Structure 1
Amino acid sequence: MAVREVLRLGDPRLREVASPVGDPTAPAIAALISDLRDTMAARHGAGLAAPQIGVPLRVVIFGITRNPRYPEAPPIPETVLINPLITPLGKGRGLGWEGCLSVPGLRGAVPRWEHIRYTALDPRGCRVEVEAEGFHARVVQHECDHLDGLLFPDRLEDPRQLGYTEELQAAGLIP
């Protein structure tokens, strides 16, 4: 329906905890999902959460086929999650470089659970339950963090592992 403005780090709305969606089949939620899809595609995102476009609801979208921002990432089918919950499976955490449409131009090395289960409702109101690993698990965790007012710099263990994309590429740290 529309490409929306993406809020940037520093906007206090990004720090709010999003509210649960009561009726995932409501027309307003369908319109929101359409705007999220259009905005994510226009900005070459791997995912986008409703709070990033100023809507404080627990809705995320993610998925990629080929993405210039993540050239080595495997494909992830487009998925919409409403009121998602994440459960870590195992104790393994891995470090990976992340960027964010709300933190343009920067990347950081963020620790995330390597293997998770996520549950949610889909836009038809049906329950979804998926196990994910690797980049897929990372994207889900990153987007769901937005629902709790967290951005990837909040998760950095070492602030020295934050930098501008171009400089990190020039140094050979990211593709």
Structure 2
Amino acid sequence: MSEILSICELGNPVLRSYAHPIENIWEEPIQTLIDNLIVTASQANGVGIAAPQVGMSDRLFIIASRPTLRYPNAPLMEPTAMINPKILSHSPQIVKDWEGCLSVPGIRGLVPRYQTIEVEYTSREGKICHQELTSFVARIFQHELDHLDGIVFLDRVESTQELITEAEYQKRLVDSAE
């Protein structure tokens, strides 16, 4: 049975460390971690979560894009485990958009990210996958990959003027929907 894990918050040293490559994806602790990350992201209304966010220094994250209270316009996709992920190439176009993070509760920032990326990762079944990701899903991938490199979204914000509280962000969502 899967377990909801405790999420590490900004200030925890694991969030600022480079995560280790996973050598054997078939080990029971890795497969269990994948299941636990999926339920933890879902319970926290997250669209992605990286192993360091639950205190594990492994190069693994989940992308689980779906509409949530935090991201009402997110596309729907099955939760996908991405092991030892990397960006192979990216578009020249960079787009700024609002990001939040389960490890940085209550704050949003305007973060520049590549619009389109070509990625490679190993699936939980051991398959090497190549995909082109765009827009919101490309943003999630880049955000989660940063976690594996010890970077949080606040490091990417170009100005403190581009930070807002989650409450203010939610007000803007309501105002823009009316």
TM-score w.r.t. the length of structure 2 is 0.93
Deviation per residue, 1:56-77 (Å, 9 max, x gap): 0000001133211100122233
Distance 1:101 1:131 in 2: 25
Runs of at least 5 residues in structure 1 that lack an aligned partner in the other structure: none
What's 1:82 paired with? 83
Q: CA deviation at 1:90?
A: 2.2
Q: Is the 8 A contact 1:88 1:113 kept in 2?
A: no
Task: Count residues with an aligned counterpart.
Answer: 175
Q: Aligned AA for 1:68?
A: L
1:51 partnered with 2:41: no
Alpha carbons of structure 1 residues 158 and 174: separation in structure 2 relative to 1, 3 Å: farther
User: Equivalent residue for 1:129?
Assistant: 130
1:132-171 residue pairs with structure 2 within 5 A? 132-171=133-172
**Preserved contact between residue 107 and residue 165 of structure 1 (Cα < 8 Å):** yes
Distance 1:131 1:67 in 2: 24
CA displacement at 1:174 relative to structure 2: 7.5
Q: State how 1:61-80 maps to structure 2 within 5 Å.
A: 61-80=62-81
Aligned partner of 1:104 in structure 2 is: 105
Correspondence for 1:23: 24
Compute the TM-score of the two structures, normalised by the length of structure 1: 0.95
The C-alpha deviation readout for 1:17-63, integer Å capped at 9, x for no partner, is 00000011221111110110111111010000000000000000011
The RMSD of aligned alpha carbons is 1.5
Q: Tell me, which stretches of 5 or more residues in structure 2 are unaligned? A: none
Cα distance between partner residues in 1 of 2:17 and 2:176 = 31
Native 8 Å contact 1:58 1:147 kept in 2: yes
- Identity over the aligned pairs, expressed in percent? 38
